Amino acid sequence: MNADTLADLRAINARFIRNFITNDVAGHDAILHPGFICIEPTGARVSRADYLEAWATGFDPKRLPYFDYRDEKIDVFGDTALVRSTNKSVRRKDGAETTAMTIYTDTYVRQDGTWKCIQAQITPVAPANYPPDETIVKKYVKGRAQP
């Protein structure tokens, strides 16, 4: 894999996360393939239209005061790429905070020189498999990127 391809996919992954944090539906729509589907941790398949509708209000800094992505791994196979990373989140509900991690695998296809995400799959991570803080790529506190 060449360095430019890796840099492009890292930038798209960062944009994917930033789109989530900012509820940027238009920006996110631009990186999704027309045939996109999301497979949630429950195994539910979410259509592109339903996914984008939920994206508009998916992030709330009062409900999700901490969020990061870490342990990024990208592999390219011709015009297909797997972008994998783990998210750590702290969620507030009914006055209680819970910390959890999920790992995602985003599958990208390159068409006409542009990478588009065709599938996102999210899987819960057991605490024994949490990647360490040293692998954090970017973190957000109350919706604001941290240095």
pLDDT in tens, 18-46: 999 999 999 999 999 999 999 999 999 99
- Do residues 88 and 101 touch, judged by C-beta distance below 8 A? yes
Domains (range + CATH), the chain = 3-145 (3.10.450.50)
Mean pLDDT taken over the chain: 96
107-139 pLDDT, tens digit per residue, is: 999 999 999 999 999 999 999 999 999 999 999
pLDDT-based confidence at residue 1 (cuts at 50, 70, 90): low
